[in-house]
Amino acid sequence: MNTVIRTENLSKRYGVVYSVQRVNLAVGEGEVYGFLGPNGAGKSTTLKMLLGLVKPSEGSVSVFGKDFSRNRLEILSQTGSLIEAPSYYGHLTGLENMRVMQRLRDVPDKHVEKALQIVRLEKQKNKKVDQYSLGMKQRLGIAMALLHFPKLVILDEPTNGLDPAGIGEIRELIQSLPHEYGMTVLLSSHLLSEIEQVATSIGIIHGGKLLFQGSMEQLQRNSQPHVWMKTQDNEKARRVLQEMELSPSLQDGFLVMEGMGDREVAQTNRALIMAGIDVYRIEEHKKSLESIFLSLTGKEGSL
């Protein structure tokens, strides 16, 4: 698989604080890459650097296998983007806004119609954008990003302000982009639940640092079930288990162990009974993706 975006030690410093620090992104062709992080994690800053809107303090960006700073025009002509709040000319109608983009992108009229139709704005296209609702502006922003059917689409929190039906719609749209139009999508969000259904790969950023990058399955593998055991005497049980080369931790009156299959559970249980320790409970806890995300980024979360 070809890599569409690759960054090397990409960093941005404002004053003495790094907003983005040594980020090495790798986005493969045809992927929907979910870029995840709490508020202030550095998502928008990273995406802006990918588009040349913010100059990196250190590091480099390459897109379509070409160095960004040297092939800016060519790369941008094949990239569509929506960064932070949507951009628009409020005194112009939706259609006129699209005409401005059409002129910039140099595409035929039918692209305009198609893009408006994709985001279902055809009926509102003759209304001034100042009179649009937030969700409609967001849709217009997506239409502008898709107008020239680029190879790469970068969307920063595209479902901001959309109602549940709209979120579902945009999710389906995003999912369809790779196979219908051969696009690669880089999508940011602060909600894992929003991304997990569409993303094929995921990058998790927090405090400017990329904490995890990989496929959805890899992330799920991190979420192997934990076995929680409650015994008559946890301290004593723990010593017994340690002799079996297990390293349980103590949490809320339970012994917690990772990476246990059915056999290992049976073995430990037997060993404890043999040692004369009654086992009250054996529970399996699966970590949800959301809690993996939280454990990576910290519960206190953002900022």
Partner 1 sequence: MRTLWLELYKIRHKRLFLMLTILLSIELAWGFMAVSTSMAKNPDATTWSAILVTITAMNGLFLPTGSAVIVSRICDMEHKGRTWKLLLAASVSRKAVYAAKFVSAAVLIGGAVILQGLVIVAFGIGYGLAEPVPIGLLLRFVAGTTLTNLVVIALQQWISLAIKNQAFSLCLGMIGGFIGMTASLFPPQVGRLFIWSYYVDFSPVTYQYVNETMLFTTREIGVHLPIIVVLMGISFYLVGSIHVSRQDV
Ligand X SMILES: Nc1ncnc2c1ncn2[C@@H]1O[C@H](COP(=O)(O)OP(=O)(O)OP(=O)(O)O)[C@@H](O)[C@H]1O
Residues near ligand X (CB under 6 A)? 14, 19, 37, 39-45, 190
Beta carbon nearer to ligand X, 165 or 303: 303
Residue 40, binding choice from Mg ion, ligand X, partner 1, none, Cβ under 5 to 8 Å by partner class: ligand X
Beta carbon nearer to partner 1, 41 or 54: 54
Secondary structure element (H or E) that encloses residue 43, with its range:
helix 43-50
Contacts to Mg ion by CB under 5 A: 44
Beta carbon nearer to ligand X, 201 or 297: 297
Rounded Cα gap, residues 171 and 137, in angstroms = 17
Q: Using the 8-state DSSP alphabet, how is residue 126 labeled?
A: T
Rounded Cα gap, residues 175 and 182, in angstroms = 11
What is the C-alpha R_g of the chain? 24
Beta carbon nearer to Mg ion, 44 or 201: 44
* Residues in CB range of 223: below 8 A, 6 or more apart: 286, 287, 288, 289, 291, 292
Cβ at position 7, least distance to partner 1 in Å: 17
Rounded Cα gap, residues 227 and 174, in angstroms = 37
Q: Which stretch binds partner 1 (CB under 8 A): 51-59, 168-176, 204-212, 214-222?
A: 51-59
Helices of type H across 147-254:
164-181, 192-195, 216-221, 234-243
Amino acid in position 45: T
Name the pairing type of β-strands 209-215 and 201-206.
antiparallel
Q: Is 112 in the site for partner 1 (CB under 8 A)?
A: no
Cβ at position 115, least distance to Mg ion in Å: 24
Q: Which of residues 244-263 bind partner 1 (CB under 8 A)?
A: none
- Choosing from 6, 99, 114, 120, the residue that interacts with partner 1 (CB under 8 A) is 99
Cβ at position 213, least distance to ligand X in Å: 16
Q: Which residues bind to partner 1, rule: CB under 8 A?
A: 48, 51-54, 72-73, 76-77, 79, 81, 83-92, 96, 99-101, 103-105, 129, 144
